[in-house]
Structure 1
Amino acid sequence: MNIVDMTIQEMERRCSHLEMILARRDMYAEMIDWSAMTLQEREWDRWEYSFEIHTELWELENRLETLVERESWTPF
């Protein structure tokens, strides 16, 4: 297994992990008593943390796509 394959596998693992975190977060979000939080806490919890995870996932998926394209490219 070469370094590209290992990098792709690592990125796929990280993507899966982030997707699992987002799914679990959505499940728990339904159980939160939002009325017990201040407006600032609600805004931060709903947007900031989720945005950071989505951004990291998007970056990983783009890097993964680039690596896969590079690996499949063959010189003439």
Structure 2
Amino acid sequence: MTASNQKDIRKQFGERLRYLRLIRELSQEDLAHLCNLDRSYIGGVERGQRNVSLLNIKKIADALCVSPKEFFDE
């Protein structure tokens, strides 16, 4: 996998996270609080700048009341 493909995956994940967060009418701050993560971390993930760990994917999914697979479904 090339570096650009890895960035594309992070970007797609971030866009899906933003969508799921917004339809639940949560701010980044609200979501960060629910996940026990920093708001700037959530912002970085949404912008595709962070390589989110499996543990944090699970925390975020739980906070949004979705399955982790929701981040990868199109």
Band the TM-score falls in, shorter-chain normalisation: 0.3 to 0.5
Question: Comparing both structures, which one devotes a greater share of its residues to helix?
Answer: 1
Q: Which has the larger radius of gyration?
A: 1
TM-score with structure 1 setting the length: 0.35
Greater RCO, 1 or 2 (C-alpha within 8 Å, sep 6+)? 1
